[in-house]
Amino acid sequence: MAVTFLLEVATPQSVVVSSEVEEMSAQGAYGEFGVLPGHTFFFTLITHGQLSYRAGGAVNSLVVGEGFAEVTHNSVTVLVDSVESP
């Protein structure tokens, strides 16, 4: 089983994050959700809030606007209208 997955966070202007990560969490339309490698497929709305991820043992955080997330077994793609450092 994989120990990482590809996380991509993008706005209409640019790709903000494109990295192999161990885990991530974000605010979805129905509350906070977390993703680990091998997660089941799903698609959800993203609400304004914190998105955090762990890469290489370091925890990173972003404040994201509204958008969408697509989760597959080996990747998460997050498309949002804005991203800021917390």
CATH architecture, range 16-84: Sandwich (2.60)
At which residue do the structure tokens 């991509």 appear? Answer: 8
pLDDT(19) > 90: yes
Pick the closest to residue 31 from 16, 45, 15 (CA basis).
Answer: 45
Say how many residues make up the chain: 86
Task: Sketch the domain layout of the chain as residue ranges.
Answer: 16-84
The pTM of the full predicted model, rounded to 2 decimals, is 0.93
Q: pLDDT tens for residues 37-57?
A: 999 999 999 999 999 999 998
Q: Which DSSP letter does residue 75 get?
A: E
